[in-house]
Amino acid sequence: MAEFALDCLGEACPVPLMKTEKKMAEMAVGDVLVVNIDHSCAMKNIPEWARKQGHNVEIEEVDDGEWEVIIEKTK
Amino acid sequence: MSENNMEATTSTPVAAPEATEATDGAQATSIRRARAPRKPKKNQIPIGMLVVLGMVVVGIVLASRSSNLGFFWMTGGIFGFILQKSRFCFTASMRDPVISGSTSVTRAVLIAFAVTTIMFTAIKYGAASMGLPIPGSSYVVPISFATVVGAFIFGVGMVIAGGCASGTLMRVGEGFTMQWLSLLFFVVGSLIGAAHFGWWKENFIVHGPSIFLPDHFGWMGAVVLQLLVIALLYRAAMLWQKKKMGTDE
């Protein structure tokens, strides 16, 4: 039940998504990953990818134009 | 980085709609963990109101000079707003199928193409049927090797830069500073391209065939053909995602 953070601030699409995919692959089921992003495109494709993979996803806008995507690995 | 110990509670599930498969068992369904409180966000609405007001004033000034200018100002503003809010991205439409297998943006672009196909045909046919010159005919340019090279360079560039032309402009406005650099080199690249354009034109472009579909298939045939191709691509996009991600939503 560990929580990991992934800092993708300043990274343009698709780098955040690819980093997230990599990080998720090495996590255990039940772990949570918090991805920090400020590229609006990643705000769309990371949650979409994660939901289609079947993970639980929440998005939080922590500042104007800055988001945290919280992903719980479910499988 | 394990700052969580608020699991146990099985009450108040706030999970996402797709949440909790059997693997989750009895644990809490909210995935949010305790975190430090944040500084409050600045309210941007007053600034937004001022910007809208400013845009209206500028629009009125422009329209008083030339109605075209005012119209372009208005459509440009609306286009940018929709682009930003919808997170519409031509780059993603070509890139995501390869990277993650998701084709939702690809299909959005295909739908946009289908709509514009119908609307532009209406405009062009309207002009042609009244015997007027067909608007936009100067954009019917030859297909040649230059098209292939240009498309390839543009594709590589837009994926590295994180946005195509419209996407870059939109994110410049959003304040994504890396893309200010993109814009700078976008301009540099355009200038280099413009300087070399004569060579491409002389050697490749003038030899290519220029095709205006209605000339070959008639107006109705051209629309049907184009919509058919778009429909096939749409179907292909769905199958691609099904294969890559196991879902075709």
Residue A27's Cβ-count burial label (10 Å; 0-12, 13-18, 19+) is middle
pLDDT at B34: 54
Contact of B75 with chain A, judged by CB distance below 8 Å, is answered with no
A56·B20 Cβ contact <8 A: yes
pTM score over 0.80: no
pLDDT at B75: 92
Provide the number of structural domains found in chain A: 1
Size of interface A-B (CB pairs under 8 A): 112
pLDDT at B9: 37
Out of B39-48, B62-71, B138-147, B214-223, which region has the weakest mean confidence (pLDDT)? Answer: B39-48
What is the spatial distance between Cα A23 and Cα A69, in angstroms, rounded to a whole number? Answer: 13
User: Which residues of A are marked as active site?
Assistant: 13
Nearest CB to A48; choose among B29, B31, B102: B102
Nearest chain B residue to A66 by CA: give it: B176
B204 pLDDT above the threshold of 50: yes
Q: Are A58 and B32 in contact (CB under 8 A)?
A: yes
DSSP B246: S
Residue B12 pLDDT grade (very low, low, confident, very high; cuts 50, 70, 90): very low
B159·A1 Cβ contact <8 A: no
A64·B104 Cβ contact <8 A: no
For helices A15-25 and A40-52, angle between their N-to-C axes, nearest 10 degrees: 30
A39·B245 Cβ contact <8 A: no
Nearest CB to B174; choose among A13, A18, A40: A40
Summarize pLDDT for A22-72 with one digit per residue, the tens. Answer: 888 888 888 889 999 988 778 888 888 888 888 889 888 888 778 889 998
DSSP B23: G
Question: Smallest CA–CA separation between B25 and chain A, in Å?
Answer: 11
B11 pLDDT above the threshold of 50: no
Mean local confidence (pLDDT), B6-26: 40
Nearest chain A residue to B101 by CA: give it: A49
Q: Which residue has the tokens 């991205």?
A: B89
Provide the CB-side half-sphere exposure for B243 (13 A, CA): 8
Contact of A74 with chain B, judged by CB distance below 8 Å, is answered with yes
Better pLDDT: B6 or A40: A40
Segments forming the whole domain that contains residue A14: 3-72
Tokens of A46: 């990371």
Distance of CA B134 to the CA centre of its chain: 27
Share of chain B above pLDDT 70, in %: 84
pLDDT at A53: 84
pLDDT at B35: 59
Out of A2-16, B102-116, B143-157, which region has the weakest mean confidence (pLDDT)? Answer: A2-16
CATH code for the domain in which residue A16 is found = 3.30.110.40
**Among positive and negative, which fits the CA dihedral B13, B15, B18, B24?**
negative
Work out the mean pLDDT of chain A and round it to a whole number: 86
Residue B38 pLDDT grade (very low, low, confident, very high; cuts 50, 70, 90): low
Residue B237 pLDDT grade (very low, low, confident, very high; cuts 50, 70, 90): very high
What is the spatial distance between Cα A75 and Cα B21, in angstroms, rounded to a whole number? Answer: 9
Q: Contacts of residue A18 in chain B, CB cutoff 8 Å?
A: 99
B163·A12 Cβ contact <8 A: yes
DSSP B207: G
- Residue partners of B111: CB distance under 8 A and separation at least 6: B234
Residue among A20, A70, A21, A54 nearest B23 (CA): A54
pLDDT at B112: 92
Out of B1-15, B55-69, B174-188, which region has the weakest mean confidence (pLDDT)? Answer: B1-15
For residue A69, list its beta bridge partners.
A35, A59
Share of chain B above pLDDT 90, in %: 27
Work out the mean pLDDT of chain B and round it to a whole number: 81
pLDDT at B30: 55
Contact of B147 with chain A, judged by CB distance below 8 Å, is answered with no
Q: Contacts of residue A10 in chain B, CB cutoff 8 Å?
A: 177-178
